[in-house]
Structure 1
Amino acid sequence: MRPVWEFVRRFAVAWGGQEPVVLVTFLLLVIGVWTFLEIADEVAEGSTQAFDVWVVQAMRRPNDLATPVGPSWLQEIGRDATALGGYGWLIFFTAAIAGFLWLDRKSHMAVFLVASVTGGYLVSMALKWAFQRPRPDVVPHLSNVYSTSFPSGHSMNSAVVYLTLGTLIAASVSRRSLKVYVIVVATFISGIVGVSRVYLGVHYPTDVLGGWTAGLVWALACWLAARFLQRKGRVERPEQETTGEHE
């Protein structure tokens, strides 16, 4: 047991320096990968199809599958929520935070953020290409779609962007309540984006679950990579004081 613990200790120190935090993150990453593979396997075998169709149709009026359940204003909220996971808003938020980091003389962190988000997008596209799952055809779509269904790109990319940004912001504040608040808000935004995709009939629920899981795994991997680079001095720490003149 001692050699095993020594390996674990060295791994934790190398990747983050705080063994409990790094080990828990690594454990969550492994669980996330396993969960995604299980979901993907069930989807590939068609085992989830009946459940997927039931959920999608349950969000439509029984006598009119072209109309979602709920009042008309809920449909508008659904479209607004799904827009938060679209490329336009994700690029805007990423560019805004990257610009802030650059102006705060954390240029390496800004580049790392952009690279992380871009990498997440490429992974999402690669997974879609690999699985080639058709979009739901059991109800009319209430949003334009241009790619395959699994995993949900909106769900995955919103998880990558908002969880990564939330982690950066949380690391820059000292109060635990503020850290929790930021992470909860980031998680909530990612959540409503995913739900809206099913509500609008453009994704099955397992597409969204796969997207959330893949996005979480990517965000955790990026967090571990950032910790490693910070310890090596190649990326600035979020709370690090910068030198130079300030306006």
Structure 2
Amino acid sequence: MAYDMTARRRALRWIRSNVELRTLLVLAMVVGGVWAFAGLAEEVIEGDTTTLDEALLLMFRTPGDLSDPIGPGWVEVMGRDVTALGGVLVLSIFTFAVAGFFAIRRSWGTVVYLLGSVGGGILISHSAKLLFARPRPELVPHGVEVITSSFPSGHSMMAAVTYLTLGVLVARVMPSRALKVYILALAVLMTVLVGVSRVYLGVHWPTDVLAGWLAGAAWAMACFLGARWLSRRGAVEPEAAAVEEPAAPTGETGPPGRR
């Protein structure tokens, strides 16, 4: 017993001295995301989410007319515009735009890592759809054309993979804490909007979208950890330390030079 306690203390001391708390938290998010995705996939395969999926999907339809999404016609048009933000073309444009940002900074290692991270995540998304092969919802008419299977939502997962991965890679080199928060918040907003639009247009079950978010977020966090590990070896651009914006001076109302 004494030996076990000593070994535990040594292990805890090693973790405290060699592993950062933030790294542990992000790693826990990665593991949690993968675990949640696996649990959700099991529930979907067993059909336990059918009732919930149908109820949530019908919330986006006009009572008495399942062919009409809730809201005026312009909302449906906007839904199609938003859902395009999760398409391959738009995501590719954003990816190469951010790659150009790092290329201008001559951070070639980050460029390669960024392209590999986004490309790998999209490949996993397509592979998962082939693996599960869940049929698309037939409860309501589809608002856009679809040709692939339903689980997980490809648009939702690819949006999470792309926007969140690009967000964490760009935010980590920004020196301003406000910029970091803004970039990450924008990435999360884009991801959420794309997912909601897929349910609104009737082309995905809500659990498809949730699974896409979970898998994509876990991938983005794993890419963040990979970037931290590579930056310590000089392979990618190092992370900039977050600094607070200086407060504006107060109490001086006269013209400059006069006291």
- TM-score, normalised with respect to structure 2: 0.86
- Alignment size in residue pairs: 234
1:12-27 matches, cutoff 5 A: 12=19, 19-27=20-28
Superposition deviation, residue 9 in structure 1: 4.5
Looking at structure 2, the residues matched to 65 and 43 of structure 1 have their Cα atoms a distance apart, in angstroms, of 23
Structure 2 unaligned blocks of 5 or more? 1-7, 242-259
Q: How far apart are the structure 2 equivalents of 1:87 and 1:29?
A: 24
Corresponding residue of 2:254: none
Larger Rg: 2
Match of 1:4 among 7, 11, 25: 11
Task: Give the Cα separation in 1 of the matches to 2:239 and 2:96.
Answer: 17
CA RMSD of aligned residues (A): 1.6
Identity %: 48
Question: Where in structure 2 are the equivalents of 1:39-58 lying within 5 Å?
Answer: 39-58=40-59
Matches within 5 A, 1:63-142: 63-142=64-143
Name the TM-score, length of structure 1 as normaliser.
Answer: 0.90
Equivalent residue number for residue 248 of structure 2: none
| 1:211–1:97 Cα change, 3 Å | same
Q: Which amino acid aligns with 1:32?
A: G
> Mean Cα displacement is larger for which, 168-177 or 200-209?
168-177
Residues 1:3 and 1:126: Cα distance change in structure 2 (over 3 Å): farther
- Counterpart residue number, 1:235: 236
Alpha-carbon distance in 2 for matches of 1:173, 1:102: 15
Residue 161 of structure 1 corresponds to 162
For residue 76 of structure 2, what is the amino acid of its counterpart? Q
Letter in 2 for 1:4: A
Deviation of the 1:10 alpha carbon = 6.9
Q: Deviations for 1:188-244, whole angstroms, at most 9, x for unmatched residues?
A: 11001000000000000000000000001100111111111111112222549xxxx
Counterpart CA distance in 2 for 1:137 and 1:238 is: 47
Between 177-186 and 19-28, the greater mean CA deviation after superposition: 177-186
Structure-2 separation of matches of 1:33 and 1:41: 12
Once the two structures are TM-superposed, the CA of residue 8 in structure 1 deviates from its matched residue by: 3.1
Q: 1-side partners of 2:17 and 2:39: how far apart?
A: 30
Q: Deviations over 1:135-185 (max 9, x none)?
A: 101111011112111111111111111111211222232232222122111
